[in-house]
Structure 1
């Protein structure tokens, strides 16, 4: 009996190798515990966890999995603290710096500005907090009233001397919105900013390095290909997506083929396979090479080299780096003459990726790429079947298995995707991409030699794109789903696992039921007679979604900018989709100002059936007029327009539509940008109708609004300010905030709270701040709070100023 037990222990130890699949899963679990927690583990505890975990991991004991998990905990914490330490201190004001550095990305030249990444020189003359670090910068026309054409001469790989106003990473936080602060952390950006004093900016040298080569190739493609397909050839050959418009991205999402445009991990794998086949052919043609280097080893080295070169052409984007690591692991196994299954290779590649950058789990591509291969390994484990049946089976498995991740990460799924991919994957991958790469390779060797492959690649792409265009513009092509929680995703993953079990493993109905919380989530909308308000975090502007039981109104659409930023398509529409809004009944524009109408075009494109209402004379006849005395009722909630007066011309701000939402539990007031004149008019004529439970503070908290008489007449419990973080106007003014607080109102600012969600119903007035609801340890507002408190304590200790 003792002998048998000893053998069992040895077998147990052997089944848990240091770099085995179970250890990788434990490492991943530890990393995810830290990365997706609302609070970050202190650095000291992280170092201790990593050190103790290494000890348990390398020793052959039953604690090996615990050791791997501890290493994941500690290593993720160390990387997280290092990533935050690279950023400018949160809470600090923007500061102007004279910087020397290099443009490390392909500059995106828009109609009103240029966006690019800039690496500051690691030199003693540079500011210590920015030395050797990366910034996301904008160079905008119209700064201080004049356009500057020199920004258009900015080239990738070029060194410049710039005066930059830099600030810490800071993003807008909305339901279903883009996480700009998480993106800055993943990209290791120290901060963002814009170019000041453009007249003093000047280049310091000619473009050099990989970014300069990529831009030269992009320009060569643009010269060689005159048709519209050149933007896609640039994307597929170089990962240069600057030429793709928002309409292109909308079509690609509707078709479910965004993973095939730009340089994806799948394309890198194809290139590696072709390189291995070519190397094998060389060895067969020259058998003497086998005396020095075995053919399998030569093919493995060629595969890694081909993958690395293609990844370099893409600027070493994260998906390509993951694939190169995976190919390198497989190649190392072949070169060491060790047999490695696909699952073992996948786990080793994941291990290499996680040890290299544990914060990669924040990127959607990490989960989609590794999960996709994992599902294929599990569902199609080396089955003997023809290539067509195998391709169809793989496509079916990928469509079903990745649906929960796609919905959870992007809030959408493509109904047309499974059919479109059947054509796009073989045609683009086997025809368009090789031609684009052949042209790039020839052009790199001989100027002008890449013309005909690029032109042929563009022609082949356009032939398929013309066909796909009809499917992309169909209303049935894209399926939008509301934002769901993590438990719904976990339940759906288990449901898909059950659904893909072999036949005879159990009923399919329970599997589908597990998917329902994600694919058909419960709607927690207002009941009859209740109203819900969402003041979106749009920066220096305003966008408010008002929902009743069956209707939705959008009050203002957020700001627009000269650089092409459209709050409608970037913020408002994704937020409405995350709320589960398939339709929009009415859009009310408070007044004609870019901070309030800048996103109108994007909203109208997604919700063309919504009626449009604005002050008389605004939007040049495109909207019906709103004026005092108008009223309607939706689902037991009365909507009443209090301002502007009918047929009485008003200045732009004072012409704002003032909307009152009335329920049995109280009222909410939306006041646009009215100023003192209109406030006094409303106090005289509206009287008791101004009293409200909550108010969106007029004019972003400007000193020209919120007079004492107006504040006293409204007397809310909640006052919400929609303003940009550290905006140049100083909104909201301190005296205005104090005025609202003096009447007992809690004042919330979207710059600090993120989107503010308000409910007024049977349970009274309720509020939720998005930054608090979705607490994240990399949140700039959360990290700057202790610094703000410490500053306030120091000021109090110093006593009043003289």
Structure 2
């Protein structure tokens, strides 16, 4: 069976497992593996089925092992004393550092715990300098990987599974926290030393950050704005070292071998030149991949080079399809969970498109320029559906940006950066001018990318892509670039049209639709009528730069097909409600803005006052709090908003306390009992029994963080709602919670995002 066919069969089996809501028992995996081996051995015609079943069994086994490795639930929230080694490159931002620690010993209350693994750790309050490969004894408080689940947002639990992260946590203050000896030698230590050497010799911090990313895959110096520019231009693959750069390194190794044989021709009597060239190319590619941290695109290219090297050393031929198929087989056999990473698909699908759609046009500069320009067009169009599937956005200027950036980065900036990196070890004074040239080139290129990123429509957002639409678009892209002679190639563009079909149509007149988003310990509510959209609160923004307005609110709007915002209302000035407001306001500057405490906001906003009202598409909106002249009173100044449709109402109560709940309850007035977004995340100072009795909502939704340090919602508050027979739903358990307010039926709750799209890796 050809390597490409084997790779595709194994991939189909591995991929099927990733859609399971839970993994079967281990004995099912063993039974399936036995059946697969029997089919592959004894049934030639059904061998491909056997390979599919091998992929299923292998993925189930590895997935089960990864889930079993997670922190036991009994240890969540408890202080553990661990000993481990820092892996990868620690990141320091502001007053905190984040790093990954490979735990090899853990104790609880002096008792050894049989648990090991790789944990993601944050160290707050001015931590010491952390180095890769250093060993530490630390007191940690950990929890199992658990992330926010919203429309359009990243699945951090899937990412944790794919990267082998078994717990998240932070360092506790303890006098026994200490480094154990000096850091040992490791590749990450070399990467860190090179990164520090570049930073010391390049004056401009941003230019130095770009060179560090190009040379050793160190992206710690890049800010959110840099990644936004890269995404707008479709060049993110170039920043963190792409597979193409590994190919350039291989060519560099081949050139060195060729030069050596030119200087010492007698070497050919001891070792044939073709084998030596192939080996040198593989060695250079391996070294560069190690400096890049062995990212998935680099590993794919490295494996393809290894296949060609082995074929050359064994004097055998090797086609591109065979090399790609063997590379896929190797990755899936080593780590079947790699299919959970976007890089796996972008890497293999991109190379496959180039192989299928590019035709050789001879040699020389003209042929090279044709292949370069045609290759960028093929990659841009071919990977457009996958970009929309994984990221919800694509770059419309990507082909032009890559046409300029790829040769400049790969043939000028990266060689200069690598040359300067090499000189750092051989002759440090000579490294400065080489790195200066690389920095100037990187600066000029980035200035150009910033200009194109500002072009209208540079970033293209679409609603959530459905699997069938993704498949049709990929077929359409392949059809578009078929060889000349294939009839009606232009019709392939029609297969892209299902991508434009919105995930949700706007609600009819008189109705409205609501999503209580999962923003952890905070609040954000997205409300849509037929022609208008309101965002109530926008989640937090943390000192690390993580902004829930950017990470959750905007992606949710894009995924749901919402391209406008009419009003941004921030209940009050606390960070967990107002932190993401600035990002949302910048994305929609035309939106009207109201806040309960305008003086605490970082952007200009109007004061919301009880008595304000308006009507959108047959839906009425009334502000119930604060009273005129009572703004800037912290939580009790929260904008309280009542939304009324023909058959259902919604009360958004912000963080009001029991002191103002009686006035709010009285202002609600007669009508259907409103669904309630629980005040102050279920704190003990709110949701009084009298308030619950006065409102008596059909259901209540609380927005809180999983295992948050405040204990919200408080057990006594949960008990009050239970006593009143009010169903209580928590975003920490359900994920984002959709609410429907139809015109001809009572309001209802739809399944939460965590329960709607169940996967075995989700808690």
TM-score category by the smaller chain? over 0.9
Q: Does 1:279 align with 2:257?
A: yes
TM-score by length of 1: 0.90
SS at match of 1:104: strand
**Which of 624, 641, 644 is matched with 2:623 structurally?**
641
Cα distance, 1:90 vs. partner?
Answer: 4.6
* Cα distance per residue 1:698-744 (max 9 Å; x no partner): 11011211112211222222211100001111111223223223444
Q: Does 1:374 align with 2:316?
A: no
Further displaced range: 269-278 or 720-729: 269-278
Structural mapping, 1:783-798, within 5 Å: none
2: distance between equivalents of 1:640 and 1:164? 47
2: distance between equivalents of 1:568 and 1:427? 35
Further displaced range: 573-582 or 118-127: 118-127
Distance 1:130 1:618, change over 3 A: farther
Cα distance, 1:376 vs. partner?
Answer: 1.2
Cα distance, 1:70 vs. partner?
Answer: 1.0
Correspondence for 1:757: 738
2: distance between equivalents of 1:702 and 1:379? 60
Distance 1:187 1:129, change over 3 A: farther
Cα distance, 1:494 vs. partner?
Answer: 2.0
* Cα distance per residue 1:308-341 (max 9 Å; x no partner): 1111112222322222222112211211111111
SS at match of 2:44: coil
Correspondence for 1:70: 53
**Which of 178, 185, 195 is matched with 2:154 structurally?**
178
Q: Is the 8 A contact 1:639 1:661 kept in 2?
A: yes
* Cα distance per residue 1:733-780 (max 9 Å; x no partner): 223223223444321101010011111113432323101111111001
- Structure 1 residues without counterparts, runs of 5 or longer: 1-16, 142-148, 781-802
Q: Is the 8 A contact 2:29 2:60 kept in 1?
A: yes
Correspondence for 1:784: none
Cα distance, 1:582 vs. partner?
Answer: 2.1
* Cα distance per residue 1:412-450 (max 9 Å; x no partner): 111111111111000111000011111112213344442
Distance 1:129 1:301, change over 3 A: farther
2: distance between equivalents of 1:102 and 1:390? 46
Aligned residues: 754
Q: Does 1:40 align with 2:23?
A: yes
Q: Is the 8 A contact 1:100 1:159 kept in 2?
A: yes
* Cα distance per residue 1:603-657 (max 9 Å; x no partner): 2232222222112554368211101100011111111101111123573111111
1: distance between equivalents of 2:546 and 2:161? 22
Q: Is the 8 A contact 1:413 1:478 kept in 2?
A: yes
SS at match of 1:135: strand
Correspondence for 2:423: 442
Further displaced range: 661-670 or 270-279: 270-279
**Which of 681, 698, 705 is matched with 2:679 structurally?**
698
SS at match of 1:591: coil
Structural mapping, 1:366-765, within 5 Å: 366-384=344-362, 386-508=367-489, 510-521=491-502, 523-619=504-600, 622-648=604-630, 651-688=633-670, 692-762=673-743, 763-765=745-747
Cα distance, 1:285 vs. partner?
Answer: 3.1
Further displaced range: 654-663 or 444-453: 444-453
Correspondence for 2:303: 325
2: distance between equivalents of 1:534 and 1:168? 26
TM-score by length of 2: 0.95
Cα distance, 1:685 vs. partner?
Answer: 4.5
Q: Does 1:310 align with 2:288?
A: yes
2: distance between equivalents of 1:128 and 1:291? 60
* Cα distance per residue 1:450-502 (max 9 Å; x no partner): 22222211111112222222111223211111112211111212222332333
Further displaced range: 558-567 or 541-550: 558-567
Distance 1:198 1:327, change over 3 A: farther
Distance 1:212 1:503, change over 3 A: closer
Q: Does 1:193 align with 2:177?
A: no
* Cα distance per residue 1:166-194 (max 9 Å; x no partner): 11111111111111111111111110100
Distance 1:85 1:522, change over 3 A: closer
Correspondence for 2:120: 136
Q: Is the 8 A contact 1:591 1:618 kept in 2?
A: no
Cα distance, 1:91 vs. partner?
Answer: 7.5
Q: Is the 8 A contact 1:590 1:672 kept in 2?
A: yes
Q: Is the 8 A contact 1:687 1:713 kept in 2?
A: no
Cα distance, 1:665 vs. partner?
Answer: 1.2
2: distance between equivalents of 1:611 and 1:232? 38
SS at match of 1:229: helix
Cα distance, 1:123 vs. partner?
Answer: 8.0
| RMSD across aligned positions (CA) | 2.1
Correspondence for 1:9: none
2: distance between equivalents of 1:398 and 1:408? 15
Further displaced range: 674-683 or 426-435: 674-683
Q: Is the 8 A contact 1:584 1:607 kept in 2?
A: yes
Deviating above 6 A after TM superposition, structure 1's stretches of 4 or more consecutive aligned residues are: 123-127
2: distance between equivalents of 1:210 and 1:289? 31
1: distance between equivalents of 2:352 and 2:612? 59
* Cα distance per residue 1:70-101 (max 9 Å; x no partner): 11011111110111122113586322111222
Q: Is the 8 A contact 1:407 1:413 kept in 2?
A: yes
Q: Is the 8 A contact 1:567 1:599 kept in 2?
A: yes
1: distance between equivalents of 2:77 and 2:457? 46
Correspondence for 1:158: 134
2: distance between equivalents of 1:24 and 1:616? 59
- Structure 2 residues without counterparts, runs of 5 or longer: none
Q: Does 1:213 align with 2:190?
A: yes
Further displaced range: 471-480 or 614-623: 614-623
Cα distance, 1:52 vs. partner?
Answer: 2.9
